[in-house]
Amino acid sequence: MNILLVSSSRHGSTDEVADVIAERLREAGLTVEQAHPEDVTDVSGYDAFVIGSAIYMTHWTDEAVEFTWRFHDELREKPVWAFSVGLSGLPKGQISDPHRIGPVLLNLDPEDHITFPGRLDPSSLTLRERTIARMGGASEGDFRDMDAVRDWAGAIATTLTSLS
């Protein structure tokens, strides 16, 4: 089974979460190709998709949203899982805010969507990002739970291996 795992990250945290997901899927015997959404030109040949984006100011990145628009028809035909990474977000499974997770995701009817806590390192942020984080009361630190990421990826692997 061929999986495309797309991640859109501003400062690397979402890509690191994607790496853990890819590792767990590969451990289950699945073939996983990783890419950034802006680098994908064709999605034919994939049996399933995992799409992830950092959350900035309650939105998915423009690149992730554009990917879901560009490949909307193809994504609707295959199983899709989605994840968001940020210091605030939606509870597991909730897809109620189309601006936060990307408007098209509501129309893709993903198998699951989860929001993982992120990492905030002010030294890696622009002045604007630091100001927004400070005004929003964001706390500095790494809040990612890689065991939770592995568990979620394991559930995807179980579903996909049962389909093959």
Q: Residue 119 pairs with which residues in a beta bridge?
A: 142
Strands 119-120 and 141-142: what pairing? antiparallel
pLDDT tens sequence across 106-149: 678 889 888 887 665 656 666 666 566 555 555 666 667 889 99
- Comparing CA positions, the residue from 116, 91, 117, 93 lying closest to residue 105 is 93
pLDDT on residue 101: 56
pTM for the model: 0.80
7-50 residue pLDDT tens:
998 767 899 999 999 999 999 999 999 999 999 999 999 999 99
pLDDT at 95: 44
Selected from 3.40.50.360, 3.90.190.20, 3.30.1700.10, 3.90.1560.10, the CATH number assigned to the domain covering 2-163 reads: 3.40.50.360
Query: Is pLDDT of 2 > 60?
Result: yes
Per-residue model confidence as pLDDT tens digits over 66-112 = 999 899 999 999 999 999 887 654 344 444 444 455 555 667 888 98
Relative orientation angle of helices 146-163 and 13-27, to the nearest 10 degrees: 40
